[in-house]
Amino acid sequence: MIETKYNKIGDVAVVTMANPPANTFTMELSAGLTGAVRRAVSEGARALVLQADGPLFCGGADVHIFAGTTARQARQMFAEGFQLVDALEDAPFPVIAAVHGMCFAAGLELALACDLIIAAEGAKFAQVEAKIGAATFLGGVYRLAERCGPARAKEIVFGAETYDAATFERWNIVNRVVPDQDMRDAALAWARQLAKGPTLAHAVTKRLVRHALDYGSRQADRYILDTASPLLESRDMRYAVDLLLTQGARKFSQNHAEVVFEGR
């Protein structure tokens, strides 16, 4: 049974996908995940962890959705899939993909749409679409290129080979690698840490990175004027600046863990 589980742990939304036995990506699963991310936004979550039940993260798309599909039907199907990608990338808080086992094809594209990837040591990654004459239909190749460069991204997609977590961490695709048994706890701890931070600023950071990747640094410099300037009127920044000025830099740095950001 295809299921998307949603759990709120404090300020962190934990979204768990389940489509046994291989957590294959289907349009039903995509819709469920999109709804869960939108729910997290509407409920005021300050961070989100995307994870999966079972022995692996995602074995890729259910190939039945490709059989006999026309180009017109495919266009509609991919457009629906990008609603999930957009929801993850546009969420106004950090999103962490917690990956274990296999993370192949659409599963890797899903992880790449998240801001950060934490992987279990035993995790395996691949864009295997070339094996069936397909491209990375949910933007995998260029999101890989954003992380590891275009030449390496083409190598990964052209060759359709499988890579371990350590290699992907070395290539700056994965942010952190942890022991298999610690992966879920480490992902949640990281999300909780980020959720305590200045989430208004984090949201601006996400938008600035996306804008710079889309339009270049000079355009992003202009974009800052509209997106970052309002932070100076936020309660969070005014509160933190006041503490810095009253306590001094050294004391502020020592007590920074005690600074309370409210996301307003």
Q: 128 and 160 in contact (C-beta within 8 Å)?
A: yes
- Domain identity same for 189 and 206: no
Can you give the residue range of the structural domain that contains 221?
199-258
Average pLDDT over the chain, rounded to an integer = 94
| 36 in a structural domain | yes
Q: If you average pLDDT over residues 179-189, what whole number do you get?
A: 98
- Domain identity same for 162 and 42: yes
| 14 in a structural domain | yes
* C-alpha closest to that of 185 among 104, 100, 123: 100
- Domain identity same for 155 and 251: no
Token representation of residue 182? 């610690």
DSSP letters, 87-127, are HHHH-SS-EEEEE-SEEETHHHHHHHTSSEEEEETT-EEE-
Would you place residue 185 in the very low, low, confident or very high pLDDT band (cuts 50, 70, 90)? very high
* C-alpha closest to that of 51 among 105, 90, 12: 12
Q: If you average pLDDT over residues 220-242, what whole number do you get?
A: 92
pLDDT at residue number 124: 98
Among 177, 195, 213, identify where a domain stops.
Answer: 195
- Domain identity same for 169 and 68: yes
pLDDT at residue number 49: 98
Pick the residue with more confidence: 248 or 156?
A: 156
Would you place residue 264 in the very low, low, confident or very high pLDDT band (cuts 50, 70, 90)? confident
- Domain identity same for 122 and 215: no
- Domain identity same for 46 and 166: yes
pLDDT at residue number 243: 85
Among 145, 176, 195, identify where a domain stops.
Answer: 195
Q: Please measure the distance between the N-terminal and C-terminal CA atoms of the chain and give it in whole angstroms.
A: 40
Which tens digits make up the pLDDT trace of 55-102? 999 999 988 888 888 999 989 999 999 999 999 999 999 999 999 999
| 264 in a structural domain | no
Tally of structural domains, the chain: 2
Q: Where are the beta strands (DSSP E) in 43-196?
A: 47-52, 95-99, 102-104, 116-120, 124-126, 163-164, 176-178
Looking up tokens 């994870």 gives 51
pTM score of the predicted model: 0.95
H or E segment to which residue 206 belongs:
helix 199-215
Is 90 exceeded by the pLDDT of residue 173? Answer: yes
- Prior bond to 21 cis, omega within 30? yes
- Domain identity same for 180 and 253: no
Q: CA 123 to CA 101: how far, in whole Å?
A: 4
Pick the residue with more confidence: 194 or 244?
A: 194
Q: If you average pLDDT over residues 147-173, what whole number do you get?
A: 98
- Domain identity same for 208 and 188: no
Would you place residue 257 in the very low, low, confident or very high pLDDT band (cuts 50, 70, 90)? low
Among 144, 163, 195, identify where a domain stops.
Answer: 195
Q: What three-state secondary structure class fits 204?
A: helix
What single-letter amino acid sits at 177?
A: V
**Residue 48: CATH number of its domain:** 3.90.226.10
